Amino acid sequence: MRTLRKSKTTEILLRLLDGSKYVRELLSEVGGSAQTVEMRIHELLKEGLVEEEVWETWPYRKMLKLTDRGKDIARLLKVEQSFFPAARKAATKDILERGKWLLALLHAVGGTISGATRLQKLLFLLKRERGIETPYNFTPYMFGPHSPDVLEDTIDLEMAGYIGIQKEVFDPTLAGDCVIRRKYELTPKGVRAASGSYKKLPAEHKRALSSLKRFNEMRQTELLKYVYTKYPKESRGG
């Protein structure tokens, strides 16, 4: 869903999660360009995440409210923000200290990694299978080895303008849950920083990072099967 990637979409959904609002009220709370907000509202109406509600009594206002699907996605976004608050504002130097591994990995595999789960597994294999020490420590989790620091660093790198994170919403699962898949890409600024980080690495590290390209090209089910089978203890989530 491309609309979710655009500016002001998240803010609109989260505001409407608090309750129905009329357009002028929403514009005031979200801020920014009125034209942009109105455009996002139109797109959300078209996507079926927001619907109009007309009051049948005075003052006969036309209100905006979330659909059931819109509520599911808004709740998911709210949970996501609670885990990775934008207020972290880490210094650029600190971001690159750990983030250089993410940038170098993206550079080595072609600049794009689809899915947070895939990103986690590539960094896990770099450490566990290639013997390269990185600052990320992995513990068993729902979809195998997981390090919360990885996802925190991607948020910091996005805020600093080194990577872009595209979000795509999938239809609810059989349990009624929405799923958001992230795609990580180097920005022009990130390409320059990643190239610089990669060049400074020892030849052994470069070979190890480049060897992960085949795992990045695997289907996710195949990648997970490989990790679960070869590293069962590290993949056993609670």
- Picking from 66, 235, 10, the residue whose alpha carbon sits closest to that of residue 141 is 235
Residue 25, Cβ density class (10 Å: 0-12 exposed, 13-18 middle, ≥19 buried): middle
Write out the chain's pLDDT in tens, 238 residues. Answer: 566 767 788 889 998 998 888 888 888 788 767 777 888 888 899 889 999 877 665 555 678 999 998 898 888 887 766 655 544 444 455 566 788 899 999 999 999 999 889 999 999 999 998 999 888 989 887 778 888 888 888 888 887 889 988 877 655 444 444 556 788 999 999 999 999 889 989 999 999 999 999 999 999 999 999 999 999 888 875 4
Fold of 2-83: Arc Repressor Mutant, subunit A (1.10.10)
Region(s) of the chain under CATH 1.10.10.10: 2-83
Cis-peptide, bond into residue 135, ω within 30° of zero: no
> Could you tell me if 98 and 135 are in contact, meaning their C-beta atoms sit under 8 angstroms apart?
yes
pTM score above 0.85: no
Architecture in CATH of 87-235: Orthogonal Bundle (1.10)
